Amino acid sequence: MLENKVCIVTGAASGIGLAIAETFINNRAKVVMADINEVKLKEEAKGIGAIYFVTDLSKQEYCKNLVDYTVEKYSKVDILVNVAGIQTVCPIEDFPEDKWKFMMDLMLTAPFLLTKYVWPYMKEQGWGRIINMGSIHGLIASEYKVAYISAKHGLGGLTKSSAVEGGKYGITCNMICPSYVRTPLVDKQIADQAKTHGIPEDKVVSDIMLTKAFVKKLLEPKDIGDVAKFLCSETGDCITGSMFTIDCGWTAS
Q: Does domain 6-181+220-252 have CATH number 3.40.50.720?
A: yes
Give the number of residues written for the chain: 253
Which tens digit of pLDDT belongs to each residue from 71-92? 999 999 999 999 999 999 899 9
Cα Dmax for the chain? 54
- Quick one: pLDDT at residue 203? 81
Q: Give the list of residues 6+ apart from residue 31 with CB closer than 8 angstroms, or none.
A: 7, 8, 9, 12, 21, 24, 25, 48, 50, 51
Listed in order, strand segments (DSSP E) in 88-146 are 128-133
Q: What CA–CA distance (Å, rounded) separates 190 from 218?
A: 13
Torsion angle of C-alpha atoms 148, 83, 118, 72, degrees rounded to 10: 140
Q: Is the pLDDT of residue 98 over 90?
A: yes
What's the whole-number average pLDDT of the chain?
A: 95
DSSP 51: E
Mean pLDDT of 152-175: 98
Calculate mean pLDDT across residues 93-118: 98
User: Strand (E) positions, the chain?
Assistant: 6-10, 30-35, 51-54, 79-82, 128-133, 171-178, 243-246
* d(C-alpha 171, C-alpha 53), whole Å: 24
pLDDT score at 155: 98
**Measuring CA to CA, which residue among 105, 65, 66, 64 is closest to residue 86?**
105
Catalytic residue numbers?
148
The secondary structure of 182-222 as a DSSP string is: SSHHHHTHHHHHHHHHT--GGGHIIIIISTT-SS-S-B-HH
Residue 191 banded pLDDT, cuts 50, 70, 90: confident
Question: How far, in Å, CA of 15 to CA of 188, rounded?
Answer: 12
Q: In the chain, what are the domain boundaries?
A: 6-181+220-252
